[in-house]
Amino acid sequence: MRLFELLLFLSNIGLFALTVLLKKGRRRIPVFVASWIATLLLVIHWTVEGYRVQLFFPYFITVIFLAISGYSYFKKNGPKKIPRFIWGSANTALAIMLVVTAGLIYAFPVYKLPEPTGEFKVGTQTFHFVDTKREEIFDEARDGKRELMVQVWYPAQGGTGKYVPFIPDTQILRYMAANYGLPGFTFQHLKYVSSHAYLGAEVSSAQTSYPLILANPGFGSSRFLHTSQAENLASHGYIVAVIDHTYNTFATEFPDGRITTSTTNDLFSPDHDYRTESGNRDKLGKVLTADVAFTLDQFELIQSGQTPSHLKGRIDLGHVGVFGHSIGGATAYDASYDPRIAVGIDLDGGLYRLREREGLRKPFLFMNSESEFERLKMVKDNRVYTDAELNRMGNTREWMNQVTEDKKVELERMRETVAAGGQFLYIENTEHLNFTDVQFISPIFKMLGVTGKIAPHRENSVINAYMLDFFDLYLKNQGGILMKGPDSRFPEVKFVTSLL
């Protein structure tokens, strides 16, 4: 909670306490003074920190108290007697508003992202790429080329001014809220969350070049929701490019002000049979994989200077990695068949295009949530679901049998890949969204089971440590300690290669 919004909230509690505890004849001056203090704090809060909808009640209480106490203080006649019922109702309403405010502040805090752990400062830059060779198939109009917004985090020489906001394109926040079925104003406070990166800072001169890592958000996600991972890798000497896969994000804003939202969910419907759904996922996957290849093409142009950027000549294209979350993790796996990509990481993502290729023979790390591991274990153990379990899941036995069949193929693909170098592990007490910055947005997500029981900052530090160790091993020929097996520093991490 920010300083002045905390002081404003405490001043409101003080006003409430004065009206309840002081007798009628003694509260006039103290309440008048306290109202002006609260008003001053409100003005400072709005000026320095910025308003947010979660504090609507403190704003309302402050203004009402200022008006009533000012009227009472300057009025020459004595105060009128207020019926006990009205007085009690007013105090009850105040108490409810303060309790609700406390709940809203707790549920939607202006939090701080974890500090990057590396020695480098972090710079950031965003690119707009247009693939003139591909038609956009997910646009309803279908009259344009495939466009991507790609944000890059990199080791910086230094930075001046303030860090860039966590979400610079604040117009997309209402679409983010809609993605979670919430009112459009719900996440507006996220515009006050800061990153740890400087916009357009010079690339660090500590090294002549830095390995490139391409990253892929999941279905209905956004590049912003992998900021903490990208910043941490950049602080350790990597150039990290996170791709907003257009129409697969909850929203993407382009330089001309256009905002696209997710349309790829139209591919999936409860009316489809399993094979149709699976085929549509492969169709989407092909586009996402092509996005990665195209983005890598663009960085080759940046490296050569054909596309202007201060990253020119600073990208080590001989050492390229990829990672992603959910379907973005599947994208990382599928994109790794590109000979230009040396290594990859899948964060809790089921694979696609399972029958179109042989197993990937490259170092690859599969990092899963505990819940996903349990599902895979059920497949390995040939678990047969009861009718009651199928009803709870809303699936038919035929559907689940086909899921199991595909999952067994997926496990075989994973086994073949891990045999070529890499690991398969899961993190205890985690759910699917613990692998993104969603876990920081609200503690309510943990209560609802959207994220796991693990503390968000702890989960973030675990993921970052293992990602860094894996990339260091294969892209820098150093580290690799955590890949050898269990480590007492990270008891939550369970190596389960035996499942494969």
For 384-429, the pLDDT digits (tens) are 888 888 888 888 888 888 989 999 999 999 999 998 888 999 999 9
Confidence at residue 72, expressed as pLDDT on a 0 to 100 scale: 79
Question: What kind and span of H or E run contains 211?
Answer: strand 210-216
Domain ranges across the chain: 3-107, 121-499
Confidence at residue 287, expressed as pLDDT on a 0 to 100 scale: 97
Per residue in 135-167, pLDDT (tens digit) is: 999 987 667 999 999 999 999 998 778 899 999
Q: What is the pTM of this model?
A: 0.93
Q: Under a CB-based contact definition with an 8 Å cutoff, are residues 175 and 259 in contact?
A: yes
Q: Under a CB-based contact definition with an 8 Å cutoff, are residues 278 and 350 in contact?
A: no
Q: What is the CATH number of domain 121-499?
A: 3.40.50.1820
- Calculate mean pLDDT across residues 441-459: 95
468 band by pLDDT with thresholds 50, 70 and 90: very high
Instruction: Find the range with the poorest average confidence among 73-87, 89-103, 154-168, 296-310.
Output: 73-87
Question: If you average pLDDT over every residue of the chain, what do you get?
Answer: 93
Per residue in 208-257, pLDDT (tens digit) is: 999 999 999 999 999 999 999 999 999 999 999 999 999 999 999 999 99
Confidence at residue 269, expressed as pLDDT on a 0 to 100 scale: 82
Dihedral sign from CA coordinates of 101, 106, 109, 111: positive
Residues belonging to the chain = 500
Per residue in 325-344, pLDDT (tens digit) is: 999 999 999 999 999 999 99
| Rounded distance between C-alpha atoms, residue 17 and residue 395, angstroms | 55
Amino acid identity, position 457? H
Q: What HEC string does 232-294 produce?
A: HHHHCCCEEEEEECCCCECEEECCCCCEEECCHHHHCCCCCCHHHHHHHHHHHHHHHHHHHHH
How distant, in Å, are the alpha carbons of 289, 334, 336, 426 from that of 329? 11, 9, 11, 14
Residue 78 has pLDDT above 60, yes or no: no
